[in-house]
Chain A
């Protein structure tokens, strides 16, 4: 194990990070060239168990946090945390995935994989934020929605779908921060935002690299998973290019887990700047701007072309 190539690469990175952290010059604007780190390495960084999670950012960035529990239908889902607090001088609403850190906490929070209850708790907070005019900040950090019997019985698909429609119509500023792994519909249920911030080593994808490899190559070996990660263009720089992400938020050298306060400062700065901009828009314009943003997603890649053997219908 200690001699596996991945471990060695990671150890080298950690050492480099430590060196950089002790160097005040590294505090300043740094830029990891996108090519310097492979897609699968970013996935590993995004999943690093000591990477800061939603409640860490809440602790660093939000004052007087009041946590909200339960969906009023079935249960309180620990995979999603929600609440109210102050960001700077303004009251805000917060919703985020929480993977958990200790084994016990991870089990209690189902590793950040929400059941329908979590999305329905989120929906309560979305609606409240919109009616009270509180900006909504979400933190995305999940491999995906829980795949399971109970989740299906209680309408996992419906819970996610309802959040997409609801988030789109919120008449308040919405900013989504992808802080770890953004996995498919379970991530998007917190992601219909005016602005999508991605931390430098965060990922956002329609499917996990493992799932993609299993489907495309019918095997899940590490090389195929790495190929799938690269093919999916799930890194922050790639998604900035594809206009899915609006801004890439720098992380401390070596990754957010090496200096969480530093990572939180960077994220806080981006949030402050984006919120100040969005707060100038009227409630209805905030909704329209969000609708327009998503209407444009991928539209630039669609062209008008007549298929040669087009068959008449009807």
Chain B
């Protein structure tokens, strides 16, 4: 499920000439990093959307000074005493040191274009954005917070899937978060899922696909099974653009693909239309 996590490249390369230049996976051209960054980390030549850090995502999405983080102290244990080439706690600690955070998601409340929302941003650089007990717990608590406070929920997804190192407990987080989203639905508050590159496996098969509206960034990889697994088990020839956001839009799985430059304004518009502001809850129509 979390097959991409081992290859999870750190979003911010540390030091050296790498820092100044960035090679675009879209057009393979080398661009000046500063220029790409000024363009919201979208390639000025081909429009390729580079992955963002959590900090970058928050900066370009929320109203300045509106962030209040929630549940930031939740940290994972080692329920399986999992050990491959290294013990799981060591892998966790390394990711924690690199990111300055406990796990692969940040949760909090913020305003987007003036509209309050409960917001989660997944961190692909943290063990491939994989969902273990902490990611599940934080997103479920955030969604419950939205339901009880009458807030909209917005989740930026970026994950290779469930975290193998926490075994079946990771799997169960899929249901835990789905349950919280059911309560949010009952509370008549909207949930916007924003699928970023990549959103696959157990995260795709739970909250990523359960948005009242499912949005995606252009070119994001989105799917349940990994491409390699499909090729190996079925010998099928996979079409051009398989599991891209555009492929999912064409097959009816997304509401819209929103370029990064328009994401903030789009979220603001949708939160306004769906009554993201508090106190506008309508009574259910009597049957």
**Interface residue ranges, A against B (CB under 8 Å):** 145, 147-149, 151-158, 160-162, 164-165, 167-169, 184-185, 188, 191-192, 204-207, 211-212, 215-217, 231-234, 239, 242, 244, 290-291, 294-295, 297-299, 301-307, 309-311, 313-314
Contacts and interface: CB of A to CB of B under 8 A. Distances in A.
Contact of A165 (B64, B72, B140, B178): B178
A304 B85 contact: no
Contacts of A232: 80, 164, 167-168
Contacts of B251: 153-155
B116 interface: no
Contacts of B253: 155, 157-158
Contacts of B82: 231
A299 B133 contact: yes
Interface in B63-102: 64-69, 72-80, 82-85, 96-97, 99-102
B58 interface: yes
B65 A314 contact: yes
B25 interface: no
Interface string B187-217: 0000000000000011011111110000000
Contact of A313 (B58, B96, B185): B58
A159 B61 CA distance: 30
A244 B100 contact: no
Contact of A188 (B69, B74, B132, B174): B174
B169 A298 contact: yes
B182 A168 contact: yes
A185 B205 contact: yes
A161 B137 contact: no
A211 B2 CA distance: 10
Given A152-B243, A311-B100, A313-B69, A303 B168 contact: no
Nearest to B231: A147
B225 A145 contact: yes
Contacts of A157: 204-205, 208-209, 222-224, 253
A108 B82 CA distance: 38
Contact of A304 (B74, B108, B175, B205): B74
B270 interface: no
Given A157-B208, A161-B209, A294-B176, 4 more contacts: A149-B238, A169-B182, A207-B162, A314-B62
A231 B83 contact: yes
Contacts of A311: 55, 99-101
15 contacts: A149-B234, A149-B236, A155-B209, A157-B224, A205-B167, A207-B2, A211-B1, A215-B164, A231-B82, A244-B169, A301-B77, A302-B76, A305-B73, A310-B100, A314-B108
Contacts of B66: 314
Contacts of B77: 301-303
Which of B55, B178, B181, B234 has the most A CB atoms < 10 Å from its CB? Answer: B178
A131 B113 CA distance: 41
B246 interface: no
A269 to B, nearest CB: 25
Contact of A242 (B168, B179, B222, B242): B168
Interface residues of B, number: 88
A204 B230 CA distance: 22
Contact of A215 (B6, B166, B170): B6
A147 B230 contact: yes
Which of A152, A160, A294, A307 has the most B CB atoms < 10 Å from its CB? Answer: A152
A167 B210 CA distance: 14
A299 B223 CA distance: 28
Which of B79, B171, B243 has the most A CB atoms < 10 Å from its CB? Answer: B171
Contacts of A167: 175
B80 A233 contact: yes
Given A206-B168, A297-B176, A147 B205 contact: no
A185 B100 contact: no
A160 B223 CA distance: 12
A161 B214 CA distance: 13
Contacts of B137: 298-299, 302
B69 A149 contact: no
B233 interface: yes
A233 B164 contact: no
Contacts of B83: 231
Interface string B110-134: 1000000000000000000000111
B281 to A, nearest CB: 20
Contacts of B85: 216-217
Contacts of A165: 178-179, 181-182, 185, 210
Nearest to A306: B73
A206 B167 contact: yes
A100 to B, nearest CB: 17
